[in-house]
Amino acid sequence: MRLPGLRIYAIAYLIFLYAPIALLPLFAFNDGTIIAFPLRGFTLDWFAELLTLPPLHSAVKNSLIIAVSSSILATAFGIFAARASSRYEFPAKTGIMGLIMLPLVLPEIIVAVSLLVVLLGIGINLASWTVILGHVLICTPFSIAILNSAFLSLDKSLEEAAYDLGETKFSTFRLITLPLVMPGIISSLLISFTISLDEFIIAFFLSGAEPTLPVYIWSQLRFPAKVPVIMALGTILVVMSITLLAIAEYFRRRGIARTGGKDTGGFL
């Protein structure tokens, strides 16, 4: 049964959602400094200007350090939590896992303000590591969701066979389990990296004197002359984010295929 109204709604929703993103490269390559139609001409000057902004380079460096650190820590915690929830039973398991996954449903502004109050209350100065703390908090649930699927897709008989052949739990995890769930781990790293790199609210509250790239972009929007440069930077970020998400989805599906599990849906 066809529903024309639903199809029209879906198309309108997609246009509303992705039209602003599609306009980014148009204005990023536009020769004019005013973001308006008609376009004046084609230029690469705004991309070239990105190479001449030391504050931008510093913000990119801070964001990369924070994103790499956050993705590694979140994935490490995700491995422990996903392994425990998928293979073991323990008291209050459902409640504990629910608390760990809570940042998925909490507004980021609430998380950011709460962390800010706690950190300042105990006398901790804001810096890059406080942003890492906040990003690990919000990235870990995503990592658990990805890795939990990877561990659940893994056939338990493979681990049991290793135990029967004399392997310890640690060696079985290192030699059997870890290689099989490695695509899920890579997917978790990429997703966590992308989330951390693009995250603004927590970084805005917790970055102190070391702004991240999204905070730098927000600060430059006050200056109309800087908007074309920001559009060029935004184009690069969109392309990079889509590429990382596509790679993450590829590894997620590859991991499910290797373990013989069922794909219940992904990111793309």
Domain count, the chain: 1
Position 135 pLDDT exceeds 90: yes
Q: Do the beta carbons of residue 116 and residue 209 sit within 8 Å? A: no
In a domain, residue 60? The reply is: no
DSSP designation for 106? S
In a domain, residue 218? The reply is: yes
DSSP track, 18-39: HHHHHHHHHHHTBS-SS--SSP
In a domain, residue 139? The reply is: yes
In a domain, residue 217? The reply is: yes
Burial of 11 (C-beta count, 10 Å sphere; 0-12/13-18/19+):
exposed
Q: Is the pTM of this model over 0.85?
A: no
Q: Do the beta carbons of residue 195 and residue 136 sit within 8 Å? A: no
- Residue 30 pairs in a beta bridge with 42
DSSP designation for 224? G
In a domain, residue 200? The reply is: yes
Q: What are the tens digits of pLDDT across the range 162-219? A: 777 777 777 887 787 888 888 888 889 989 998 998 899 999 999 878 889 899 888 8
Give pLDDT, residue 76. Answer: 94
Position 63 pLDDT exceeds 70: yes
In a domain, residue 170? The reply is: yes
Mean pLDDT of all residues belonging to the chain: 83
- Kindly state the average pLDDT of the residues 31-45: 74
Q: Which CATH number characterizes residue 135's domain?
A: 1.10.3720.10
Before 183, cis peptide (omega within 30)?
Answer: no
The CA angle 259-263-267, to the nearest 5 degrees, is 115
State which residues form the domain around 150. Answer: 68-259
In a domain, residue 57? The reply is: no
Cα gap 46→50, rounded to integer Å: 7
Burial of 74 (C-beta count, 10 Å sphere; 0-12/13-18/19+):
buried
Give pLDDT, residue 48. Answer: 86
Q: Do the beta carbons of residue 188 and residue 78 sit within 8 Å? A: yes
- Angstrom CA distances, 120 to 40, 117, 124, 147, 224, stand at 49, 5, 6, 34, 34
In a domain, residue 53? The reply is: no
Locate 187 and state its tokens.
Answer: 């997917």
